[in-house]
Amino acid sequence: MAAVQETVERVRSLDVDQYKYGFVTDIESEKAPKGLSEDTVRYISAKKNEPEWMLEWRLDAYRRWLTMQEPTWARVSYPKIDFQDYYYYSQPKAKPKSLDEIDPEILATYDKLGIPLREREALLGIESTAPRIAVDAVFDSVSVATTFKAELAKAGVIFCSISEAIREHPDLVKQYLGSVVPVSDNFYATLNTAVFSDGSFVYIPKGVRCPMELSTYFRINERNTGQFERTLIIADEGAYVSYLEGCTAPQRDENQLHAAVVELVALKDAEIKYSTVQNWYPGDKDGKGGIYNFVTKRGDCRGDNSKISWTQVETGSAITWKYPSCILRGDGSQGEFYSIAISNGYQQVDSGTKMIHLGKNTSSRIISKGIAAGRSENTYRGQVTAHRKASNARNFTNCDSLLIGDKCGAHTVPYIEAKTASAVFEHEATTSKISEDQMFYCLQRGLSSEEAVALIVNGFVKDVLQQLPMEFAVEAQKLISVSLEGSVG
């Protein structure tokens, strides 16, 4: 059997055993009644002790959502979703008040996932070697722990669950929530606005460089449960923050729904770096199960010379529908999008970005690396626009696809529009295959097929991996090997 063929076979035979995070945590949880109605929305709001204005906002979104249609323009296909067949809220029964009170089962879950939730241990043992990262852990619908809060507070940084922010920092929330992704932005974002359960809130005050990396770790545990997290990050003038997001879920036969909204606001001279390693359960080898990941992520470079940078490593989910975008409003603002999207088995990925140039001298950069294996479909969809006043807008787009085997597909769908003559947009795209000759060359030098594929793929995605914070890059590199080969790692 030819070497590439063999690799393809191996990839094809890849099954659920390869998904390391597919275990279920056995804890008691409290759920909203199944299905979606105004009552569900009220239930969620009440559970969270929300103020009236928040409930009104949710109800308004819910009513608008009822009039909206699910979008169909993405290159993905799936059976019609019955939105009444999901639970919209699930929380572990015993609600912890401090880190010490967290259900040991949940702590064990995060331990198993390699996420340290116990500050004390993090402070004692590994301080010198491992970089410290503050973590907000979201388990099903609620944030169960946020670490290093006290230390961050010293720097004036607010890092807490969005539920807590709604109660404790209502002015900031009112000012910014929904200001980047409006209530009726799109079907899933509007749904999220109605039923969002939890997520993270970050505020970095003027001139502050956040003293550590911030991270949120999302875990869907309950069966048939939708996860609708809402994240809001605000970097005030001259502030800087680097934020990491990770996600996993148990392996289940049904498709679970995940529809998040992430809003970033960068004021004058501020910079936000947002990195995601998305590893939701992708479904089994026949395409059964897996997460439907319909996500709206958008950053607003609201102030002059602000910068927002998205980096994503997408390896999981049965279906990914995701376009982290930048609105380049401030003069001289910069947007970046670095993406690695890997699809295998029957996964379908439709992902990309939008760079909307509004201000003068704005620039954006898009580097997208799509890798398709198995019977997957991998689409890059990108939009770059410059408005009339966006003089000297610049964009550079480089979009490469790599195919492994001949049963998968890679597609590139760019939309480019410049309403000012001074805009300079450059677009490069390539599609390549791992060739038999490359495999043979590697094998002749002693590499196994797995090592060869990993080496070639890592070479292919190198430009993007370099954008990730060090400790995430290592994790991502391993994840890439595991997603593609099954036997490595």
**Using CB under 8 A as the criterion, which residues of the chain lie in contact with another protein when the complex forms?**
1-3, 5, 435-438, 440-449, 451, 455-456, 458-463
Shortest spacing between CB 459 and another protein, in angstroms: 3
Shortest spacing between CB 431 and another protein, in angstroms: 13
Shortest spacing between CB 439 and another protein, in angstroms: 8
Tokens 């956040």 found at = 210
- Residue 381 pairs in a beta bridge with 352, 413
Q: Identity (one letter) of the amino acid at 233?
A: I
Q: By C-beta, is 83 or 440 nearer to another protein?
A: 440
Shortest spacing between CB 447 and another protein, in angstroms: 5
Q: What is the CA radius of gyration of the chain?
A: 22
d(CA 158, CA 164): 11
Q: By C-beta, is 383 or 438 nearer to another protein?
A: 438
Cβ neighbourhood burial of 57 (10 Å; 0-12, 13-18, 19+):
buried
Shortest spacing between CB 451 and another protein, in angstroms: 6
Shortest spacing between CB 278 and another protein, in angstroms: 22
Residue 226 has which token pair? 């939708």
Shortest spacing between CB 453 and another protein, in angstroms: 12
Q: Identity (one letter) of the amino acid at 216?
A: T
Helix (H) or strand (E) holding 336: strand 334-343
Torsion of CA 46, 51, 52, 56, to 10 degrees: -80
d(CA 220, CA 482): 21
Shortest spacing between CB 262 and another protein, in angstroms: 30
d(CA 64, CA 200): 25
Q: By C-beta, is 179 or 458 nearer to another protein?
A: 458
Q: By C-beta, is 109 or 481 nearer to another protein?
A: 481
Shortest spacing between CB 456 and another protein, in angstroms: 6
Identify which of 180, 118, 424 has the alpha carbon closest to the alpha carbon of residue 189.
Answer: 180
d(CA 488, CA 238): 43
Cβ neighbourhood burial of 444 (10 Å; 0-12, 13-18, 19+):
exposed
Tokens 């760079």 found at = 355
What are the residues whose beta carbons fall under 8 Å from the beta carbon of 415, sequence distance 6 or more? 381, 382, 383, 384, 385
Q: By C-beta, is 363 or 483 nearer to another protein?
A: 483
d(CA 173, CA 184): 18
Q: By C-beta, is 165 or 402 nearer to another protein?
A: 402
3-state secondary structure 236-258: CCCCEEEEEEEEECCCCCCEEEE
Q: By C-beta, is 113 or 429 nearer to another protein?
A: 429
Shortest spacing between CB 5 and another protein, in angstroms: 7
Shortest spacing between CB 2 and another protein, in angstroms: 4
Identify which of 330, 340, 277 has the alpha carbon closest to the alpha carbon of residue 308.
Answer: 330
Q: By C-beta, is 44 or 453 nearer to another protein?
A: 453
Residue 464's SS3 state is helix
Query: CB 266: neighbour CB atoms within 10 A?
Result: 33
What are the phi and psi torsion angles at 197 (to 5°)?
A: -105, -55
Task: Evaluate whether 203 touches 231 at the Cβ level (below 8 Å).
Answer: no
Q: By C-beta, is 207 or 459 nearer to another protein?
A: 459
Q: By C-beta, is 179 or 438 nearer to another protein?
A: 438
Q: By C-beta, is 30 or 451 nearer to another protein?
A: 451
